[in-house]
Amino acid sequence: MIQSLQGIGMTSARTRERMINRLIQQGICSHKILDVMRNTPRHIFMDEALAHRAYEDTALPIGYNQTISQPYIVAKMTELLLAASARLTCVLEIGTGCGYQTAILAQLADHVYSVERIAPLQKKAKDRLWDLKLKNVSYLHSDGGWGWPDHAPYDGILVAAAPPEIPEMLLQQMAVGGVMLIPIGKDDKQQLQRVTRTESGYDVEKLEPVVFVPFLSGRK
């Protein structure tokens, strides 16, 4: 692995291990997720000027008014998504962003279909995942509210931006027994919700307060 992926100083494996210990203290229990996050260099997913803060428990800007989610939220949403299945086969991610969450999912699912509305962000994410040799990801430059119907149904959907309500198109693309993790609400009144599709409809659970960027329509 090249030096930039290994990290040094505030981006070193030792700093990453402190992040893992903090996630354990915050209640993350899945050893699979902890191991993947331990071995995934979060610092390469942000600009060099902010790389020294990569393993802090905070969201950080990645340009275009977007952020990389704090490690706890990445771990928590992934753990909730995996709770329904030993391994996910087909996952839809809405909001590729910088690609960090995509990289975590790609190591825990057979295939990830990732949709991003901002083309330059998606290009950077693709390059970073290529550097990590993660090739089980397909990318679509599109409005996230449309999902990616061509590959539906999905047994897992993870949404990294907050709409005011659950998009109907995403509900339609869930497999029976599938799970969607999505923040719902505006500004500082967002709730992380888990949606499970059943034979007869959808079960919706409100889990905890979160703060995500707003879910916007269109492409850039």
Task: Report the catalytic residues.
Answer: 69
Q: Using CA atoms, how far apart are residues 58 and 150, in angstroms rounded to an integer?
A: 35
Taken as a whole, the chain contains a residue count of: 220
Q: Using CA atoms, how far apart are residues 116 and 161, in angstroms rounded to an integer?
A: 11
